[in-house]
Structure 1
Amino acid sequence: TNASPSNTQTPEHSPTTIAVVKGLAWLFGSGSKTSTAIRETRTAYDLCAKRDNEESKFIHEVCRLSPTYQTWFQIANLHVWMVRTRYRALPAPYGKAFEQEFVNHFFLDIEDRMRAALNHKAPERIVKGYLTEMRDQWMGATFSFDLGLVGSDAELSGAIWRNLFASRGLDGKGELIGKPGKIGESRAVADGKAALAELPFHLYVFSAYIRRELKRLESISDEDVMAG
């Protein structure tokens, strides 16, 4: 399941998550606009976090992506990235402040959901390892989506294939490629050949959706973006 943290007791966040958040603060820079950014980006992040559930039929049944934590992360990360592209276009110092707080919400939720998926019983070293992996996936996806955005549809589709579809078909069988374990596990699709035949269409749908949403975000004024 997606292991929503809303039904669980909020834990203290691990040193790894705190370190990531502090590192992002250094990367983006911090300023006096953070109080507004914290409030408004929370609303925006909540919308991103819900997309896996709201589009469940298409994501899990049509695209055959397993309803796991990993799938939730990739779908949420895609939408987080799209919103971040709009925050980056805000004038200084708002752009960095909004992007920093927005990503902070994401990483805190990542840990909460991860602990819920592991039934709050995993040793801290396991949690730390998964958090490090999620950070690396986040950074890799950001770079690949950025390149796809300024590049061709083929480049954007490649980023979608590598991240959302975990390089489906790389083994020639149409199966998802993933590490074993409760967090990263994935199931083989029912029919490898059929899944591969459908894959180009799914990549096209995602590519068109991304470019359409980015165009819509671009049309929203800076004032409305900062007002949530």
Structure 2
Amino acid sequence: MACQNCQSQARLLVRAATRAGPSAPSSKRYLTTAASKATISPSSSSSSSSPSSTAPANARLFSTSHRKALFGGMASPYFVVGATERLYKFCGPVADYHINQKLRDQDEVPKLEDGEEVGESLNPGNPWHTLFNMPPTFSTWSHVTMLHLYLLNARIRCFDRDAFANWRQQLIDHFSFEAEKKMHVEHNITSSALRQRYLKDMFTQWRGIMVAYDEGVVKGDAILAAAVWRNLFKGAADADPRALAAIVGWMRACMKSLEGVSDEAFATRAGEVLALPVESFWQGIEKASKAQASAATAKPAVGSTTAGPVKERIVAEPIVGKGQ
């Protein structure tokens, strides 16, 4: 079933063809390319008896309009703006936060050791703040958002060149607008020049993040986990290795699922992929570690003097010896 945008575009084309009526030039004339028109002989082009020769010089031919421009598509600016705006809702609000205004007025906003202000999570149950113990700060929000944007960016590289450039720019614009808004509203940075300087630094950081994650995706999970540790956890010595393993597993699963989504369905299905709960990978790691721990406790140690296994081994050895 066609989408609403395709149906509306088809109706416009049908109405235009109906209004044109029988006086419209033949379809053969409309489908003729500019190159083929240049090869027409002078006698046929100068003939005035053919109705097709009376078409105005500025008539818009189907051959001069790309199919994607007529029906919309992955590179259509209006389509990309709306699609990226919807997809960004699966990226930005994931680890969103806000600064308590009362604490701001009393100048009592808590800060980390490096001076970064700590806010309150807008989604207290999200795993990034609770399970992975990442503070609700601007740095956490920006890096978690950029991690989601990286997964989308890795998939849209498969688009054609123009579509990829448009999608990438729109996603970055949504992130930049939200980041500047947080600087102004949440952190009281009223200087536009200062905000622009911070945004430039963030864009430089974004380019480095893409290179680091690309290297990890190609070289292996250990390199990818190191990139996650450096960026999301700021290289903290007390970072939980289970959190790194869960995030890396989630990234791999998302990229695999996005790879299976077609270009036409990407705008509607990519959000479902990003909504895959990262805590499920943590739970899988916890379950595996508990099972391994219980198996280690149940297994007797080497050289154990327990009666059961040792007695069975002693009785069995002479029988094997007699057979040989």
Q: Same fold by TM-score, threshold 0.5 exceeded?
A: yes
Q: Which residue pairs with 2:223 in the alignment?
A: 155
Letter of the 2:129 partner, please give it.
Answer: H
Once residues 62 and 70 of structure 1 are traced to their aligned partners in structure 2, the CA distance between those partners, rounded to angstroms, is: 17
Q: Which residue pairs with 2:153 in the alignment?
A: 84
Normalising to structure 2: TM-score of the pair? 0.49
Once residues 168 and 100 of structure 1 are traced to their aligned partners in structure 2, the CA distance between those partners, rounded to angstroms, is: 32
Asked if 1:136 is matched to 2:179, the reply is no
- Alignment RMSD (CA, Å): 2.1
Once residues 77 and 104 of structure 1 are traced to their aligned partners in structure 2, the CA distance between those partners, rounded to angstroms, is: 12
Residues 153, 168 of structure 2: 8 Å contact kept: yes
Q: Which residue of the other structure, out of 193, 210, 215, is the alignment partner of 2:256?
A: 215
Normalising to structure 1: TM-score of the pair? 0.68
Once residues 72 and 130 of structure 1 are traced to their aligned partners in structure 2, the CA distance between those partners, rounded to angstroms, is: 15
Once residues 126 and 183 of structure 2 are traced to their aligned partners in structure 1, the CA distance between those partners, rounded to angstroms, is: 23
Q: Which residue of the other structure, out of 171, 174, 192, is the alignment partner of 1:124?
A: 192
Q: Which residue pairs with 2:277 in the alignment?
A: none
- For structure 2, list consecutive stretches of 5 or more residues without a partner in the other structure: 1-73, 97-122, 270-324
Q: CA deviation at 1:220?
A: 0.9
**Residues 46-55 or 137-146, more deviating:** 46-55
Residues 69, 117 of structure 1: 8 Å contact kept: no
Larger Rg: 2
Residues 161, 168 of structure 1: 8 Å contact kept: yes
Query: Aligned residues: percent identity?
Result: 26
Q: Which residue pairs with 1:18 in the alignment?
A: none
Change (3 A) 1:138 1:94: same
Higher relative contact order (CA 8 A, sep 6+): 1
**Residues 146-155 or 52-61, more deviating:** 52-61
- For structure 1, list consecutive stretches of 5 or more residues without a partner in the other structure: 1-30, 175-195
Residues 81, 170 of structure 2: 8 Å contact kept: yes
Q: CA deviation at 1:226?
A: 4.1
Aligned pairs (5 A) from 1:9-24: none
Residues 149, 156 of structure 1: 8 Å contact kept: yes
Q: CA deviation at 1:211?
A: 0.2
Q: CA deviation at 1:32?
A: 6.2
Q: Which residue pairs with 2:78 in the alignment?
A: 35
Once residues 56 and 150 of structure 1 are traced to their aligned partners in structure 2, the CA distance between those partners, rounded to angstroms, is: 33
SS in 2 for 1:106: helix
Q: Deviations over 1:121-173 (max 9, x none)?
A: 5323432332222122211111111111112101100110011001111xxxx
Once residues 217 and 234 of structure 2 are traced to their aligned partners in structure 1, the CA distance between those partners, rounded to angstroms, is: 19
Aligned length: 170
Q: Deviations over 1:57-103 (max 9, x none)?
A: 42122222110111110101100110111111123432222222122
Q: Deviations over 1:173-196 (max 9, x none)?
A: x3xxxxxxxxxxxxxxxxxxxxx4
Residues 60, 67 of structure 1: 8 Å contact kept: yes
SS in 1 for 2:174: helix
After TM superposition, the runs of 4+ consecutive aligned structure 1 residues lying more than 6 A away are none
Change (3 A) 1:154 1:66: same
Aligned pairs (5 A) from 1:105-116: 105-116=174-185
Once residues 86 and 131 of structure 1 are traced to their aligned partners in structure 2, the CA distance between those partners, rounded to angstroms, is: 24
SS in 1 for 2:160: coil
